[in-house]
Structure 1
Amino acid sequence: MARQLTKLGFLDVKKTLFLLCDLQEMFRPGMKMFDPVVKNASKLVQAGKMLDIPLIVTEHYPEKLGHIVKELDISHAKGVYPKTLFSMMIPEVQAKMNDLFGAELETVVLFGLESHICLEQTAMDLLKTGLTVHVAADCSLSRTQEDRKLALERLQQIGCFVTTSENVIFKLMRDKKHPAFDKVPHLVREPSVDSGLSKL
């Protein structure tokens, strides 16, 4: 029954992982929607911390491309891993996922960049293991809106839930009586920043 609910898009706080992919400083100049996406990603990361959702972060070739942007507080991340593989599913990340969840992990919330490269290949690797994947579209981007649009369409076609940061946050809480609810409203009081999704 639990797996059936997961396949419908439910999120279980005890069986969900956040994966933040390569939202690094050196990518900022080449992506016009970078700043809005960072603001939305910050909301999602903060909410994840409040809801005690484990976070794993990758940085693509950080020697040349720098580190995760300073606007994102990832101090609670369970690991920050350098990579050259486009997919986040490097051995170190897979080992950390196993350490954190064993066989209990059901759902991954994936966000970052680029949608048509690293996110898509990560999603494919996750889906083939039987995990459910939610892609936070307002926290994800590509250098061009065309690549982003087509990637989000492909991600949906291959079985991902293409969603938004607020949708994820409220699905995780499910009830105003959630212990963290009183901490979260300041994050969602203002609508998420327009990241250009309505124009895709």
Structure 2
Amino acid sequence: MGGAKLGIPVEQIRNRPMPTLAPENSLLLAIDFQPRLMAVIEDAATVVGHAKKLRAAASLLGVPTLFTEQYAKGLGTTVEDLAPMEAFQKMTFDACGTPGFLDRLGEGKDIVVAGCEAHICVLQTVLSLLDAGRRIFVVRDAIGSRRAESKETAVRRMERHGAEIVTVEMVVFEWLQTAENARFREAAALIK
């Protein structure tokens, strides 16, 4: 009935996808956590620390992770704290503009996004993924820019175009779904 009062048919509300994340339907996308870039990111240590928590939770809960690196020859490979086994190499700011990127995401996965810079590579990639019909969850405390106003402007723009704005803690507890999850204690300890 609440939906009918808002002008939204009840059937449409019932047929909407679940607004929360589930580990089996998620992929963590870590964009350009590279040394030369992180050296100029505001509060970089916090951003990397949050990304590290996300990666650890993803690993615990079986969520695949895909790292990207922008012009690794100039910006370096992913920072040591996050060092992936491999990273998707790109020269385009929008990762979707690099051939093969969308194929690496898997069909129907919700994309949880962390990375730098929020107003360049993160923003352009998120907007393209939204345009491609993907559900996107931007982790506000795991993205960074050189200046706070650039990050906040990017967050508002991504949200306006349909991205969900979340925090690390929100993601981890949605992936857990219940305190009865066998990995609850390990995952919850990452947040402390």
Give the structure-1-normalised TM-score.
0.84
For 2:83 and 2:57, the matched residues in 1 are separated by 11
1:22 matched to 2:29: no
Aligned to 1:81: 88
Measured in 1, the distance between the counterparts of 2:25 and 2:15 equals: 11
1:187 to 171, 183, 190: 190
Question: Separation in 2 of the partners of 1:2 and 1:44?
Answer: 30
Aligned twin of 1:126: 129
2:112 pairs with 74, 99, 109, which one?
A: 109
State whether structure 2 residue 30 is matched by structure 1 residue 46.
Answer: no
Q: Which structure would you say has the larger Rg?
A: 2
User: 2:104: which partner in 1?
Assistant: 96
Task: Kindly state the Cα deviation for residue 151 of structure 1 after the two structures are TM-superposed.
Answer: 0.5
**1:95, CA displacement in angstroms?**
2.0
One-letter amino acid of the structure 1 residue matched with residue 101 of structure 2: V
Q: Structure 1: how far apart are the matches of 2:111 and 2:168? A: 13
Structure 1 residue 12 corresponds to structure 2 residue 22: yes
CA contact (8 A) 1:45 1:73 kept: no
Instruction: Provide the alpha-carbon RMSD of the alignment.
Output: 1.7
Give aligned-pair identity as a percent.
27
Query: After the TM superposition, which segments of 4 or more aligned residues of structure 1 sit over 3 Å from their partners?
Result: none
Q: Which runs of 5+ in 1 are unaligned?
A: 191-200
Query: Could you say which residue in structure 2 is the equivalent of 1:61?
Result: 71
5+ residue gaps, structure 2: 1-12
Q: How many residues align?
A: 179
TM-score, normalised by the number of residues in structure 2? 0.87
